[in-house]
Structure 1
Amino acid sequence: MPDQPTTALKAAELQAAARDHLLLHFGQHANLRAGQEVFMPDRAEGVHVYDAAGKRYIDGLSALFCAQLGYSYGPEFAKAAEQQLLRLPFSTLWNTAHPAAIELAERLASLAPDTINRVFFTSGGSESVESAWKLARMYHVAQGQPQRTKAIARRTAYHGLTMGALALTGIPALKEPFGAPAFEVAHAPNTNRYRTTDADEAAFTRRLLAETEAEVLQAGPDTVAMLIAEPVQNAGGCFTAPAGYWAGLREMADRYGFLLVADEVITGFGRIGEYFAVTKHHVAPDMITTAKGLTSSYATLGAVLVADKVAEPFYNDGVTLLHGLTFAGHPVAAATALTNLDIFERDGVLDNVRALTGHLYKRLTELTDLDIVGDVRGDGFFWALELVAGSDGRRFDTVRKHELVKRFLPTRMRDLGLLARADDRGDPVVQLAPPLIATQEELDQMVDLLGQALTDADRHFLHGR
């Protein structure tokens, strides 16, 4: 950790500069003009982040699901980056290649399901999703099926904010300001089982697949290019899939001729204890979109892992793959990703997640003793607690939900020294997604702090104290 923290004077100058010059992503800028300071991490170590005043926070969100390895591997990544900078600081992948990208593609293919052996690099998650759509379209055109211009996604799912990824995103409030979507998308049910009335899990699976197939039939099966879904859906709060669901999607895709895409921008690279979460369902999709954990946030990089059958048309004589991104597969980012995978293997990162998943779940379920906690769901180091307005599970009204999720909980958790996420894309939830190197003691600390924040919320919102 750097010896010299940012001085108070410098911090004040930075706050002023942020207010005057920086447009924050998903920022409410009126708050800055009103005098509210932006949260400004200054340095980090292990699973902890320090602000400019020196206050320490435990990172219960892995910096938005990115910092799989926390913050203590800087010297190792710096060495790898320096070596690559001195060797070849930059080269594109525009009908050329460099060793780092080639080596990384081979490494990723070795980790993916057996049918997936090709890799298309991007710079991040939205680009990966956008690229998967374009690859799907080019595949179907090559197959003599140019009429496949539609997609199926899921309600409340977030797939990114570029115009193609936004079309797939199933959150109307994020889409409406930007007009008509880039292409036609039907949204099928997600896998939220809280409040379902199905008799059992098998019935739940049957209903989900039947309603998804109904969307395919309504769209016209021969017009659908792909179906995209996250193995654990983030928006709405860590929806896991019931048994048989992914196998059903695979069968449906094969029967109707569209491609199946697993969006693993969040779940990929260890978040639930596997390199790719979809492999827990023993299903091989046609493409896997990735980003965040691919470099554990030490560089910006994404990738689409592509099945052999999807890539095959691009190897025909005279065919050009009509898509490219200038900085995709950047040599320094590729070297960073290779180092990341080396560390995963050397330090048993996946083993740590697998060993502690049960303990983390057990600790989180203890919080259901609070009337405000209605459900606990997720897997690995990726969990959500759905918040309710009473022990009977009734929902918060819009005003109270906004106060809870946008004001009370973010402020209270940060005051306590916990970085976690309160979200209202769907019903209100609070999410915990620790760095994958977190110890049992550190997980306990996160849950204890979250429990304190939720106890305060329970008193304030439900019991008037």
Structure 2
Amino acid sequence: MTSTAQRSVSESAAAHLWPHFSRLSAFATGSVPVITRGEGAHIFDENGKRYLDGLAGLFVVQAGHGRRELAAAAAAQASELAYFPLWSHVHPKAVELAERIAHEAPGDLNRVFFTTSGSEAVETAWKLAKQYFKLAGKPGKHKVISRTTAYHGTTHGALSITGVQPYRAPFEPLVPGAHKVPTTNFYRAPEHADDLEAFGVWAADQIETAIVAEGPDTVAAVFLEPVQNSGGCFTPPPGYFARVRAICDRHDVLLVSDEVICAWGRLGHAFGATRFGYQPDIITCAKGLTSGYSPLGAAIISDRLAEPFLHGDATFLHGYTFGGHPVSCAVALANLDIFDREDLYGRVRDNAAALRSTLERLHDLPIVGDVRGDGYFLAVELVKDKATKESFTDEESERILRGYVSTALFDGGLYCRTDDRGDPVIQISPPLICGQPEFDEIESVLREVLTKAVGML
């Protein structure tokens, strides 16, 4: 066997590494890009080529790459207490971080259950909802409602809540009881396409229709992202979440705000629920909490849901070995210090309109159908025919989006995401430290690549 020392990193990856959500066949040539360094809003490959990180890694690196204070916080904590579990004992950094998160969270979300990922946070929320209703004397309430094409994670429970059918199909049968309703994609609204508020009422009412159809005594929770990722940054119409909250209250159903992407500044606030003015029963989060410098997620839970567990021998029989890891908690605290010191939430609010208007310049290209999203979380939908909104065929999506656009953007110096889990989109979600120079750089690369893609239609 050839030793790793005799191979390039790419060749070794092709032989031994199993990448996530990637075709192994794409690695067969041993020419996979190798990213070795990050600084600010940019990443660098093994040859020293610089790329603008237009996706913040994976909606994660809020404070930017190369923040030495975050590395220092990790080293200091690892030197003092590298690991201890949150099983019947605690450690100071988890306690401090839980208090800080509770202070930031809206309403009575005062209990923090730490995980290591967003999928685990979603899994935690569903399991908690089930056990809460058993303790509340309503054991039949176990089902969940979520939206079509929405992505909520990869563990079996979270994947069941996920609405991306190609992700689900290889692993079915999944956990029973997860049901889907329409998204808030106004660009392709099946009803009230000329009235955003009426469309929002219709979309919210589909949730109530599903609850009634399944039986309110069987439905435990509704899982919604403030801005839906999969499908391309679907924003809520005015009044949508207020109506959903009222529907959940009417049927004693929990509202879970899945903010694995939207929390920690992506929308200009600590939480998307704050951005859109609604009160969840649980918030799930991860990604930006540490800016990716160490894995950490959380389910933030209301006092009402915690109350039955405060008596007798009631125990939430759930946990993770690395949930609330001391090093991750220390990094998160240092990360939130950066947010406060540099006012990253305010920076997003101040610059979000500029990012959107910069991307909207692309509307002059016939392949660009829609630009949508909120904060530093936007999508550009690509179309075959702008007038009719006709989308790509599967063959065209494979040939144009995967076969050309994705590679050409990276070759042009822009790391972002092409996505066809719904209609084909390019997602832009840069680090929160970015401003107009980075926005212009993103638009310039997109324009050059998409102009060439027009000729492939």
TM-score (norm 2): 0.97
Give the alignment partner of residue 297 of structure 1, picking from 292, 299, 305. Answer: 292
Paired letter, 2:195: D
Are residue 386 (structure 1) and residue 406 (structure 2) matched? no
Give the alignment partner of residue 170 of structure 1, picking from 163, 174, 181. Answer: 163
Residues of 2 paired with 1:11 and 1:379: CA distance?
Answer: 47
Paired letter, 2:160: A
Q: Is the Cα–Cα contact under 8 Å of residues 69 and 436 in structure 1 kept in the other structure?
A: yes
Are residue 57 (structure 1) and residue 57 (structure 2) matched? no
Q: How big is each residue's C-alpha offset from its partner over 1:25-58, in whole Å with a ceiling of 9 and x where there is no partner?
A: 112112222x151121011111111101111101
- The structural deviation recorded for 1:13 is 2.1
Corresponding position of 1:439 = 435
Residues of 1 paired with 2:435 and 2:444: CA distance?
Answer: 14
Q: How big is each residue's C-alpha offset from its partner over 1:139-167, in whole Å with a ceiling of 9 and x where there is no partner?
A: 10110111012110100000000000000
Corresponding position of 2:106 = 113
Corresponding position of 2:353 = 358
Where does 1:104-143 land on structure 2 (aligned, <5 Å)? 104-143=97-136
Q: Secondary structure at the match of 1:413?
A: helix
Are residue 78 (structure 1) and residue 74 (structure 2) matched? no
- The structural deviation recorded for 1:277 is 0.8
Where does 1:122-271 land on structure 2 (aligned, <5 Å)? 122-196=115-189, 197-198=191-192, 199-271=194-266
Paired letter, 1:213: E
Q: Secondary structure at the match of 2:360?
A: helix
Corresponding position of 2:453 = 457
Give the alignment partner of residue 402 of structure 2, picking from 386, 400, 406. Answer: 406
- The structural deviation recorded for 1:446 is 1.2
Corresponding position of 1:5 = none
After TM superposition, the structure 1 stretch with the greater mean CA deviation from structure 2, 192-201 or 333-342, is 192-201
Residues of 1 paired with 2:243 and 2:30: CA distance?
Answer: 49
Are residue 103 (structure 1) and residue 96 (structure 2) matched? yes
Are residue 69 (structure 1) and residue 63 (structure 2) matched? yes
Corresponding position of 2:32 = 38
Residues of 1 paired with 2:280 and 2:151: CA distance?
Answer: 19
Residues of 1 paired with 2:411 and 2:170: CA distance?
Answer: 34
Residues of 2 paired with 1:90 and 1:31: CA distance?
Answer: 37
RMSD: 1.3
Residues of 2 paired with 1:39 and 1:307: CA distance?
Answer: 44
Q: Is the Cα–Cα contact under 8 Å of residues 247 and 281 in structure 1 kept in the other structure?
A: no
The sequence identity of aligned pairs, in percent, is: 45
Number of residue pairs matched by the alignment: 451
- The structural deviation recorded for 1:324 is 0.8
Paired letter, 1:45: E
Q: Is the Cα–Cα contact under 8 Å of residues 154 and 187 in structure 1 kept in the other structure?
A: yes
After TM superposition, the structure 1 stretch with the greater mean CA deviation from structure 2, 134-143 or 82-91, is 82-91
Q: Is the Cα–Cα contact under 8 Å of residues 281 and 301 in structure 2 kept in the other structure?
A: yes
Q: Secondary structure at the match of 1:49?
A: strand
- The structural deviation recorded for 1:12 is 5.0
Q: How big is each residue's C-alpha offset from its partner over 1:315-340, in whole Å with a ceiling of 9 and x where there is no partner?
A: 11111111110100000000000000
Are residue 335 (structure 1) and residue 330 (structure 2) matched? yes
- The structural deviation recorded for 1:82 is 1.9
Paired letter, 2:278: V
Corresponding position of 1:14 = 9
After TM superposition, the structure 1 stretch with the greater mean CA deviation from structure 2, 154-163 or 384-393, is 384-393
Q: Secondary structure at the match of 1:206?
A: helix
Q: Is the Cα–Cα contact under 8 Å of residues 43 and 50 in structure 1 kept in the other structure?
A: yes
Distance 1:376 1:10, change over 3 A: farther
- The structural deviation recorded for 1:391 is 2.5
Residues of 1 paired with 2:349 and 2:97: CA distance?
Answer: 25
Are residue 310 (structure 1) and residue 305 (structure 2) matched? yes
Runs (4+) of structure 1 moved beyond 3 Å?
9-12
- The structural deviation recorded for 1:460 is 2.6
Residues of 2 paired with 1:53 and 1:134: CA distance?
Answer: 46
Q: Is the Cα–Cα contact under 8 Å of residues 146 and 162 in structure 2 kept in the other structure?
A: yes
Give the alignment partner of residue 322 of structure 1, picking from 317, 320, 324. Answer: 317
Gaps of 5+ in 2: none
- The structural deviation recorded for 1:60 is 0.4
Q: Is the Cα–Cα contact under 8 Å of residues 289 and 305 in structure 1 kept in the other structure?
A: yes
Corresponding position of 1:4 = none
Residues of 1 paired with 2:98 and 2:83: CA distance?
Answer: 17
Residues of 1 paired with 2:321 and 2:6: CA distance?
Answer: 35
Give the alignment partner of residue 267 of structure 2, picking from 259, 266, 272. Answer: 272
Q: Is the Cα–Cα contact under 8 Å of residues 112 and 276 in structure 1 kept in the other structure?
A: yes
Q: Is the Cα–Cα contact under 8 Å of residues 47 and 58 in structure 1 kept in the other structure?
A: yes
Q: Is the Cα–Cα contact under 8 Å of residues 129 and 142 in structure 2 kept in the other structure?
A: no
Corresponding position of 2:421 = 425
Q: Secondary structure at the match of 2:18?
A: coil
Gaps of 5+ in 1: 1-8
- The structural deviation recorded for 1:11 is 9.8
Residues of 1 paired with 2:341 and 2:297: CA distance?
Answer: 22
Q: Is the Cα–Cα contact under 8 Å of residues 409 and 457 in structure 1 kept in the other structure?
A: yes
Residues of 2 paired with 1:81 and 1:24: CA distance?
Answer: 26
After TM superposition, the structure 1 stretch with the greater mean CA deviation from structure 2, 450-459 or 269-278, is 450-459
